[in-house]
C-alpha cells in the first residue's frame, strides 16, 4: 500500500511547471528557435520571483529538459545546453539566491549532461545546499518513467511505500501548471503528481504573466482536496 506523503500546509506548497511554447513563440515572431528558449529562461527567472511573493509556496520543480527532448536536432540541443549552463552560472553568483535562501537542486540523468553543465551544476548545488527557505528543482534530461524505474530497482525486498525514499524528488506536488495549450504531463513527475491539481493554459511560456499566475493561485486555493476520501 502506498503512503500519502503529500506536502502538508506547514511545509508549504510544491508547484511543478511544464514550461511549453518556447519554440512556437520564436517561430511566430520569425525568430531563431534559440531565442525562444532564451526568452523562456528569462521567464523562469521572473516566475521564481513571483513565487517568493507567496509565503505558502516553498518548493518549485521546473521541467527544463525531458529525456524525450534529447531527440531534437544537434543544433537545438547545443543551444539548449549552452543556455542552461549560462543560466546556472548566472544563478551561482546571483545575490538574490542568498537573500531569499533558495536551495537549488539540479536533477536528471547526469550521464546525459554535457561536461561543462555538470561542473556548473555541481557548484550551484554545493553553494546553495545550506539554504532552506525555498527549494528549486531544475529537471534536466529528466523523465518520470526513468526515475520510477530506478527507484523500483532499489526498493526490491523493501516495503513498496519506501519507493519515495529513492526518488529524485521526494516531496509530492500540490499544483502542476503547463503552458502552451497541451493537456498532458509528458512524463513529468508522474508519481509526485498523483494527487496534484492540474492547470493547463494556452499561453506560451515566454508570454506567461504574473496576472495569470495570480489567477491560477486563486483557482488553486478554491480547490477541495480530498485525496481519494
Q: Which residues are known catalytic residues? A: 20, 69
Supply φ then ψ for residue 62, to 5 degrees: -110, 130
CA distance 63 to 22: 13
DSSP result, the chain: -----PPPTTT-EEEEEE---HHHHHHHTT--HHHHHHHHHHHHHHHHHHHTT-TTEEEEEEEEEETGGGGS-HHHHHHHHHHHHHHHHHHHT-HHHHHHTEEEEEES-GGGS-HHHHHHHHHHHHHHTT--SEEEEEEEEE-HHHHHHHHHHHHTTS-GGGGGGGSS--SPPSEEEE-SS--S-TTSSTTTTTT-EEEE--S-GGG--HHHHHHHHHHHHT----TT-
User: Cell numbers of 64, please?
Assistant: 527544463
Alpha carbon separation from 211 to 37, 106, 150, 214, 217 (Å, rounded): 22, 28, 39, 5, 10
Amino acid at each position: 500500500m502506498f503512503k500519502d506523503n503529500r506536502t502538508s500546509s506547514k511545509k508549504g506548497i510544491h508547484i511543478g511547471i511544464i514550461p511549453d511554447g518556447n519554440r512556437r513563440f520564436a517561430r511566430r515572431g520569425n525568430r531563431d528557435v534559440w531565442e525562444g528558449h532564451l526568452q523562456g529562461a528569462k521567464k523562469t527567472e521572473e516566475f521564481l520571483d513571483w513565487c517568493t511573493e507567496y509565503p505558502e509556496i516553498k518548493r518549485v520543480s521546473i521541467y527544463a529538459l525531458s529525456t524525450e527532448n534529447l531527440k531534437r536536432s544537434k543544433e537545438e540541443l547545443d543551444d539548449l545546453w549552452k543556455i542552461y549552463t549560462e543560466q546556472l552560472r548566472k544563478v551561482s553568483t546571483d545575490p538574490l539566491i542568498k537573500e531569499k535562501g533558495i536551495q537549488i537542486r539540479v536533477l536528471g540523468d547526469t550521464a546525459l549532461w554535457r561536461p561543462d553543465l555538470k561542473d556548473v551544476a555541481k557548484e550551484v548545488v554545493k553553494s546553495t545546499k545550506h539554504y532552506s527557505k525555498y527549494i528549486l528543482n531544475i529537471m534536466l534530461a529528466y523523465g518520470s518513467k526513468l526515475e520510477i524505474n530506478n527507484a523500483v530497482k532499489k526498493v526490491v525486498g523493501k516495503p513498496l511505500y519506501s519507493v519515495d525514499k529513492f526518488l529524485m524528488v521526494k516531496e509530492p506536488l500540490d499544483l502542476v501548471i503547463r503552458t502552451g495549450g497541451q493537456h498532458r504531463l509528458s512524463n513529468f513527475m508522474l508519481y509526485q503528481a498523483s494527487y496534484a491539481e492540474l492547470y493547463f493554459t494556452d499561453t506560451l511560456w515566454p508570454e506567461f504573466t504574473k496576472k495569470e499566475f495570480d489567477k491560477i493561485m486563486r483557482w488553486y486555493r478554491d480547490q477541495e482536496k480530498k485525496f481519494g476520501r
